[in-house]
């Protein structure tokens, strides 16, 4: 299964996927990392795993549609089947959605629909909610909306700081993203039989 990862920042989710031998052995091929931030740490992680990168900045285009069209032009020859968003900080527009309908997956650090948008972990922590979590979903035209694939709860402990809660959320994200891709690979391999 040929995928493109999209990321803008640290890239811990990207690395959780890239380093998994289990996923590789089941046929996961990360063909490219698309990154909109030339200084993002995720670019160093991609180098470590010898994954090609496409650094593409919105500021270099007249509008979002042409920005995304440049991405599509890069992905099409690579025969990308799924796009995995992992901390990609741009809203995806109908241009990219139409090129990969129902094949773009996103991870969000809350139990959607709660705390959609930016700073989800901080807002969940400040809300005092006893339970927060992680959502992996197909994207649609909204922000952090679209059909849910998997949700997992993360319980807030009595002595949690925002940082300790965040660390557990990230751990949960890494496990969940690997599991969701594993399920997808198994499904695809089953269909191919
Ligand atoms: C994650 O919390 C993800 O859910 C959100 O952005 C963060 C990216 O973290 N969409 P990383 O760059 O994968 O470390």
Amino acid 192: pLDDT: 81
CA 15 / ligand 1 centre spacing (Å): 11
Half-sphere exposure of 4 (CA within 13 A, CB side): 25
Amino acid 94: pLDDT: 97
- List the beta bridge partners of residue 91: none
**The residue to which tokens 């197909």 are assigned:** 138
Contacts of 98 (CB under 8 A, 6+ apart): none
Atom of ligand 1 nearest to the CA of 9: 12
From 13, 135, 172, the mutation candidate for ligand 1 (largest count of ligand atoms within 8 A of CB) is 13
Amino acid 190: pLDDT: 84
CA distance 12 to 170: 8
> Which residues does the chain have with pLDDT short of 50?
none
Amino acid 191: pLDDT: 85
Helices 162-192 & 120-127 angle (0-180, nearest 10) = 130
Amino acid 86: pLDDT: 98
Per-residue model confidence as pLDDT tens digits over 81-128? 999 999 999 999 999 999 999 999 999 999 999 999 999 999 999 999
Name which residue sits closest to atom 9 of ligand 1, judged by CA.
Answer: 87
CA 1 / ligand 1 centre spacing (Å): 23
Amino acid 137: pLDDT: 98
């Amino acid at each position: 299964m040929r995928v493109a990862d999209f990321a803008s920042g640290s890239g811990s989710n990207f690395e959780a996927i890239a380093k998994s031998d289990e996923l590789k052995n089941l046929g996961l091929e990360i063909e490219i990392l698309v990154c909109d931030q030339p200084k993002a740490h995720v670019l160093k992680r991609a180098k470590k795993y010898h994954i090609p990168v496409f650094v593409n900045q919105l500021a270099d285009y007249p509008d979002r549609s042409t920005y995304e069209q440049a991405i599509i032009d890069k992905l099409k020859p690579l025969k990308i089947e799924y796009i995995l968003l992992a901390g990609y900080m741009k809203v995806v527009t109908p241009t990219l959605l139409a090129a990969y309908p129902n094949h773009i997956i996103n991870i969000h650090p809350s139990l959607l629909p709660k705390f959609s948008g930016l700073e989800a972990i901080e807002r969940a922590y400040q809300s005092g909610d006893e339970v927060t979590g992680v959502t992996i979903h197909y994207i649609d035209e909204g922000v952090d909306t679209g059909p849910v694939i998997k949700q997992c709860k993360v319980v807030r402990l009595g002595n949690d700081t925002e940082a300790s809660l965040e660390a557990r959320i990230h751990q949960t994200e890494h496990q969940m993203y690997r599991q969701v891709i594993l399920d997808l690979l198994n499904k695809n391999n089953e269909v191919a039989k």
